[in-house]
Copies of this chain bind each other. A is one copy, B any other.
Amino acid sequence: MDLETLKSLAVKAETKIVLLVLDGLGDLPREPGGPTPLEAARTPNMDALAVRGVTGLADPVGPGITPGSGPGHLGLFGYDPLKYRIGRGVIEALGIDLELTPTDVAARGNFCTMDEAGRVTDRRAGRLSTERCIELSRLLDTIRLEGVEVIVRPVKEHRFVVLWRGNGLSDQMTESDPQRLDEAPLKVEAKTPEAERTARLVNAFIEKARLLLREKHPANMILLRGFAKHPNLPTFRELYQLQAAAVAVYPMYRGLGKLAGMQALVTGPSVREEFDVLRQHWRKYDFFYVHVKGTDTAGEDGNFDGKVAVIEEVDRELTTLLGLRPDVLVITGDHSTPASFRAHSWHPVPVLLSSRWCRPDDVQEFSERGCLRGGLGRLKGKEILPLALAHAERLTKFGA
């Protein structure tokens, strides 16, 4: 279903929808025949929802495709991640409340360590402190280029954002990050003739940064990637007449929500604080996207038990959310991050949808194995939002 058609079916209603994203939720058993973290976790609240609701398994992008956080979330927000592509630079910029104009080009930057031969020896400059990142970003922000404004802002640890602001800029450029050690940073190249001037400006910026950072070991160089312009997605308000809010601790996820037109709400770092923020803003919005990062972090760290603990924490805190009686509650992930794999993976993600209008299946618990037999069947990530809207009685009939 294309977004134009979906938009034509959207109607107003008094119902409230919560999309709870446990980042990297899907997983694998630790040992053959054993449970996954979701199966090992004690989750009485989620299991009760699975009994009354309907479950399934979602492919965020497609079978075999491992999504980044951007495509994984775009799918959950109902956008086709193969059609709408968002560069890392844009996500990082929005996540630190750096507003992009339609002509800006953004990039994600890393401070890195370079040896005397000009080869990268640490792509994260020893995981720089955020304080030092702020200081060095200020230094880079002093760089001036001919005919274009440059804005440099710190993100966290070794990460920063660069914005080139001016007319006639293009994001069609190769990256400077070699993505491996013991190689020199790459020259940024234009992929199209229109990008040649921008590539010259970016390379000039990198050279000025190198000179400014020469004595700043271990942060004596930068790497740039994810050149991108604002994708100008149609927003949840335009598409579905939804007032939507994002509750997320990490900048990138707030940024993803903002791309869809969500209001990013300020929250403390714990799951409890996130749900408290939800409760405080309950009356003001129709749709809440709540992002929990801990599941993904534990998965990336190979910490099976840590992932179990985060899932159990979410399940305990869920009582706050359930007390608000959302008309539709979806619990899922943006991708799988199996603890044994220590990285994002292609495995489909468990989905649980709870509403008074669910057709029940025989699934008794929220788990990978249960979802395999669930009434939602096997679906695409982008199909979850239309289902949530339907169960919230926010889509009218298609055709006579």
Is residue A204 within 8 Å, beta carbon to beta carbon, of the partner chain?
A: no
Is residue A315 within 8 Å, beta carbon to beta carbon, of the partner chain?
A: no
Q: Which residues of B contact A387 (CB under 8 A)?
A: 63-64, 346
A400 near B69: Cβ-Cβ < 8 Å: yes
How far, in angstroms, from A338 to B26 measured CA to CA in the complex? 33
Is residue A40 within 8 Å, beta carbon to beta carbon, of the partner chain?
A: no
- DSSP majority for the A interface? loop
B66 near A395: Cβ-Cβ < 8 Å: yes
How far, in angstroms, from A345 to B397 measured CA to CA in the complex? 8
Measured CB to CB, the closest approach of chain B to A308, in angstroms, equals 17
In the complex, which residue of chain B has the Cβ closest to the Cβ of A383?
A: B63
Q: Which residues of B contact A9 (CB under 8 A)?
A: 65
Partner of A397, one of B2, B66, B226, B399: B66
How far, in angstroms, from A344 to B376 measured CA to CA in the complex? 18
A1 near B61: Cβ-Cβ < 8 Å: yes
Contact with B along A351-394 (1 / 0, CB 8 A): 00000010111100000110011011111000101111111000
Is residue A124 within 8 Å, beta carbon to beta carbon, of the partner chain?
A: no
CB neighbors of B among A17-36 (8 A): 26, 28-29, 32-33, 36
Task: Indicate how many identical chains form the complex.
Answer: 2
**Known A2-B82, A28-B359, A86-B399; 20 more pairs at CB < 8 Å:** A1-B65, A9-B65, A32-B360, A33-B360, A36-B359, A61-B398, A62-B383, A62-B386, A64-B383, A65-B395, A66-B395, A67-B397, A68-B397, A68-B399, A69-B400, A81-B398, A81-B399, A88-B400, A359-B368, A361-B372
A residues contacting B by CB (< 8 A) are 1-2, 5, 9, 26, 28-29, 32-33, 36, 52, 57, 61-71, 81-82, 85-88, 91, 108, 226, 338, 341, 344-348, 357, 359-362, 368-369, 372-373, 375-379, 383, 385-391, 395-400
16 contacts between A and B (CB under 8 A): A1-B62, A1-B82, A9-B65, A36-B359, A62-B386, A63-B379, A64-B383, A64-B387, A64-B388, A65-B398, A67-B398, A86-B399, A347-B359, A362-B369, A377-B378, A378-B378
